[in-house]
Amino acid sequence: MNPLDAVRSIKRPSLKRPSIEWRIPSPWLIGAVLVVAVWIGWAIYVAADRGVNAGLGVLVAWPALLLLAAIVATPFVAIAYLVRYLRNRPDDGGPEGDENITGETFPL
């Protein structure tokens, strides 16, 4: 095979439609940009209406609350993932029952 045939055999991506990988996160990306824009606009409104200290409080308070919610939710999400893993793990072919220190097996 000569180099020209090798180049011709390469599949080129289609430009007619976007790939599925780009279509899935795009609504999330648009939503995140809109939320950030509304948050900054609201902070500007509060700063103009009630003063710079209140506007700065808006900029700091909401991310702090979201961070607190993420910290509180993390153990529950980790436990859910652990339970799902333990339920779906493949059988390792080990002995049936529970083994004690002496090697005796007790049926479950």
Asked if residue 94 has pLDDT above 70, the reply is no
Asked if residue 91 has pLDDT above 80, the reply is no
Q: 14: which 2 tokens?
A: 């289609």
The confidence score (pLDDT) of residue 100 equals 55
Closest among 42, 80, 79 to 61, alpha carbons compared: 42
Q: How far apart are CA 41 and CA 88, in angstroms?
A: 46
- The separation between CA 63 and the C-alpha centre of its own chain, rounded to angstroms, equals 17
- What is the per-residue pLDDT across 18-75, written as a single tens digit (0 to 9) for each? 555 555 567 878 888 999 999 999 999 999 999 999 999 989 988 899 899 999 999 9
Q: How far apart are CA 11 and CA 2, in angstroms?
A: 17
* Residue 96 or 79, more confident: 79
